[in-house]
Structure 1
Amino acid sequence: MIVSSLLDTDLYKFTMMQVVLHHYPAAEVEYRFKCRTPDIDLAACIDAIQVELEHLCRLRFTADELDYLRELRFVKSDFVDFLGLFQLNTKYVQISPSTERAGEIELVIRGPWLHTILFEVPLLAIINEVYFRQTSGHLSLDEGRERLRAKVAMLRDTPGHQPCRIADYGTRRRYSRNWHAEVVKTLRDELGSQLAGTSNVWLARRLGLTPLGTMAHEYLQAHQALGPRLRDSQVAALETWAREYRGDLGIALSDLYGLDAFLRDFDMYFCKLFDGTRHDSGDPFEWGERMLAHYKACRVDPRGKVLVFSDGLDIPKVLALFDRFRDRCQLAFGVGTNITNDVGPQPLNIVIKMVRCNGQPVAKLSDSPGKSMCEDKAYVAYLRQVFEIPDTVG
């Protein structure tokens, strides 16, 4: 089976899930799948995906896994107790061939947020691996190993870049589970302290690495429908996060409504309260310069703050960003598909995004065009108006 542990997911799923348990246990949500890569036949994979989904929904957290989670400083005991009872349920997931586009699939996850939040990452990993098994199952990984060696050498051996550290963020779009494990082990063994950790909790536990992550877009999106007026939803999400973690896990995601709207909300209070911010869309160099200028305008020394870059990175871009911002702030780099699915075939650009919460549409309007999945055009227009977002964004 492709996923053999419920820990085989990104840490931010657990950190968000803990907030959901404590603050929004009754929230109902809907997620939808989208493949952004054209001309991909996923309909032929449905039966195999369904088999893997049914196996996923038979998994339970083991006692050893729960003990591991309990040791994480930010995980609370009642949350671990809840996970001891937790099990995913196939009734919340519907998979079928698309009725509109040949070869595409319709995948909808609908149900209580608390009981559906852990589906996204393993389902994406399953879809990837099933697809590549069917289309390149006999592929030699020697090409992938050679590419990985070149990336390691570039990061490790480029003069003056020994302080530059990366983390693995590649679970969702990995070529396969076994390849992902080999990649992260290679990075650990070859890079040493230049590997900051991994977002994958299963691999972190298995390889003795630091699990990394805070919040994802769905957390901020859900707050559009969780009580405060829409204009205050981003602030409410950040304040709820701060109440839950009391200064820990202090990296704020900055691009749900674009950087302009984020900076209007991320005032001096949040600049001082949060350890840093994460970039996930738009030009990373422009984003970094604007964040540093914003910290200075709020009378906060940016040298004590972290800028996390995580959008479509490869090693040359990591090094270029490191050169631009080194000694001006603290830096972190999350590299995903480029290290976990660079073995020859074209990687799939697939996502599962929240589209509704408590019966209301929710949307992401980032600094990169085409990332929104909300089909309610009237709501998107209203969101743009409320957050003063131009039509060229999102």
Structure 2
Amino acid sequence: MAHLTSILDNDFYKFTMQFAVSKLFPKAKARYEFINRGKHTFPEGFDKLLREAIETMAQLKLTKAEKQFLREKCPYIDPTYLDFLQGYHYDPDEVKIEQIDGELKVCVEGYWYRTILWEVPIMSLICELYYQANKLNRVSNAEVCQIVEDKMVKYDKLHITIADFGTRRRHSYEVHDLVIQTLKKHPSKTFIGTSNVHLAMKYETTPIGTHAHEWFMFHAAKYGYKMANLLGLEHWADVYRGDLGIALSDTYTTKVFFTQFDKKLSKLFDGVRHDSGDPLVFAQMTIDHYKQKGIDPRSKTIIFSDGLDYEKVEKIVKFCDGKIGYSFGIGTDFTNDVGLPRMNIVLKMVEAKPEDGEWTEVIKLSDEPNKHTGTSKEIHIAKEILKIEA
């Protein structure tokens, strides 16, 4: 059955955020909940399979070789954090799992600096166990590799750079491993790295990522919606001093983000990440923003990472070429293109408790309304405060 073999089998931004959280908000707490966007039905006993897989994660430890890899690849991370990570272990008691008929409930609660690592591995385990428990057969290993190879031949012609962002909704660890192996062997400079730190180490490539929506969601809980983007980016810059300079823009809509992305931050950050809404509309907004701040957009980069496939990427390249820098993070189209329906699931922070604060509901207002998370009441309050039209 599915289980993880390395503590680094996770997205890079989980570790970069964990370092920042342990430094700035060591007493904050968080709650996360599983959201079944695709309305998948889970077979009887699935909760027990997931519980078994999660219990085994308590045994995972950072090895000396893994610590050395992080030390060499991430000079901007303090050695004190690497020592902390070496002593860290998953605590399965932080995870509550329930199943009622075909409906699965997963909740995570504890100190934010600890619970932050659960989201991605739990999602990847849910996906892998779902396919196993339903006895759904995928294409062969040779076909998995050929599908990736065929895509890369097309991507090469666009003269772009691509990273793998597919850990959370991969078909399985085995498929993900085959994908990175194929990308690494492919004879071009198109593939530049993966968000999966374990596979980056295994295949001697670069771990890629910065921060996620929860960073800004927590800042909203602590400082209010109007200050969330600004203080989130200021605090990120305080920790990383110019490294890891791609800003996530759509936690409270891109329009609101750009009102708070002032000239200092626009110059300091290398670019922005697109994760929802029309990518061409986003690209034009970003170009206009930089021009308005007196910054040449061609000196900045947009990382596109929202449900990409070749057709979308080709359109984006045609639109952006010569106007602004661009790169692509491709997820499930690499790691779950195996002849089966892809899962549509998330595990999101739903409440945060800042130090000396109360448990506070957190939400996400993406540029794509279907991607909003949180209660309708809190979403309405946030829209009022941020003057977002319904």
Q: Choose the corresponding residue for 2:328, options 324, 333, 344.
A: 333
Instruction: Summarize the alignment of residues 378-393 of structure 1 with structure 2, pairs less than 5 Å apart.
Output: 378-391=377-390
Identity fraction in percent = 37
Mapped contact 2:170–2:332 kept (Cα < 8 A): yes
The separation in 2 between residues aligned to 1:303 and 1:373, in whole angstroms, is 33
CA distance in 2, matches of 1:190, 1:292: 33
> For 1:124, what is the secondary structure of its paired residue?
helix
Residue of structure 1 equivalent to 2:185: 189
How big is the shift at 1:236? Answer: 0.8
1:39 CA displacement: 4.2
Amino acid at match of 1:212: I
Does the 8 A contact of 2:7 with 2:61 survive in 1?
Answer: yes
Partner of 2:54: 53
Partner amino acid, structure 2, of 1:249:
L
**CA separation in 1, counterparts of 2:305 and 2:45?**
32
Task: Tell which deviates more after alignment, 134-143 or 341-350.
Answer: 134-143
Distance 1:89 1:108 in 2: 13
1:270 Cα deviation (Å)?
1.2
Q: Which moved more, 1:231-240 or 1:322-331?
A: 322-331
Equivalent residues of 1:125, 1:174 under 8 A apart:
yes
Partner of 1:354: 349
Q: Pick which of 188-197 and 343-352 moved more.
A: 188-197
2:124, 2:168 within 8 Å by CA — same for their partners in 1?
yes
Change (3 A) 1:326 1:92: same
The alpha carbon displacement at 1:389 in A equals 1.6
Q: Whole-Å Cα distance in 2 between the matches of residues 265 and 139 of structure 1?
A: 46
Are 2:81 and 1:85 equivalent residues in the alignment? no
* Structure 1, 267-276 or 32-41: larger mean CA deviation: 32-41
Once the two structures are superposed, the pairs formed by residues 1-394 of structure 1 within 5 Å of their partners are: 1-41=2-42, 44-71=45-72, 72-98=74-100, 102-141=101-140, 142-156=142-156, 158=157, 161=158, 163-226=159-222, 228-358=223-353, 359-375=359-375, 377-391=376-390
Task: State the alpha-carbon separation in 1 of the partners of residues 50 and 275 from structure 2.
Answer: 28
Amino acid in structure 1 at the alignment position of 2:29: E
- 8 A Cα contact 2:145 2:178, kept in partner: no
The runs of at least 4 aligned residues of structure 1 exceeding 6 Å deviation read none
Distance 1:189 1:326 in 2: 27
Secondary structure of 2:328 counterpart:
strand
Who is 2:356 aligned against? none
Is the contact made by 1:44 and 1:103 (CA closer than 8 Å) also made in structure 2?
Answer: no
> Unpaired segments of 5 or more residues in structure 1?
none
Deviations 1:22-63 (A, max 9, x none): 000000100000111134225542111111100112211111
Distance 1:293 1:191 in 2: 36
Q: What whole-Å deviation, never above 9, does each CA across 1:115-134 have from its counterpart, x for those lacking one?
A: 10100111111111111112
For residues 316-357 of structure 1, what are the alpha-carbon distances to aligned partners after superposition, in whole Å with 9 as ceiling and x for unaligned? Answer: 211221121122222110000011001011010110000000
Superposition TM-score, scaled by structure 1 size: 0.94
Shift of 1:138: 4.3
Cα deviation for residue 137 of structure 1 reads 5.0
Deviation, structure 1 residue 268: 1.2
Letter matched to residue 365 of structure 1: L
CA distance in 2: counterparts of 1:261 and 1:230, whole angstroms? 10
Residue correspondences, number: 382
CA RMSD of aligned residues (A): 1.4
Cα deviation for residue 252 of structure 1 reads 0.4
Q: Distance in 2 between matches of 1:249 and 1:42?
A: 41
Alignment partners' CA distance in 2, 1:342 and 1:230: 38
Quick one: distance in 2 between partners of 1:78 and 1:189? 35
Question: For residues 61-106 of structure 1, what are the alpha-carbon distances to aligned partners after superposition, in whole Å with 9 as ceiling and x for unaligned?
Answer: 11111121122122111110111110110111000014xxx41111
Describe the SS at the equivalent of 2:59: coil
Partners of 2:361 and 2:7 lie apart in 1 by 29
Contact 1:5/1:202 (CA < 8 Å) preserved in 2?
A: yes
Structure 2: unaligned runs, 5 residues or longer: 354-358
The one-letter code of the counterpart of 1:188 is: K
Give yes or no for contact 1:174–1:340 (8 Å, CA) kept in 2: yes
Compare 65-74 and 7-16 and name the one that shifted more.
Answer: 65-74
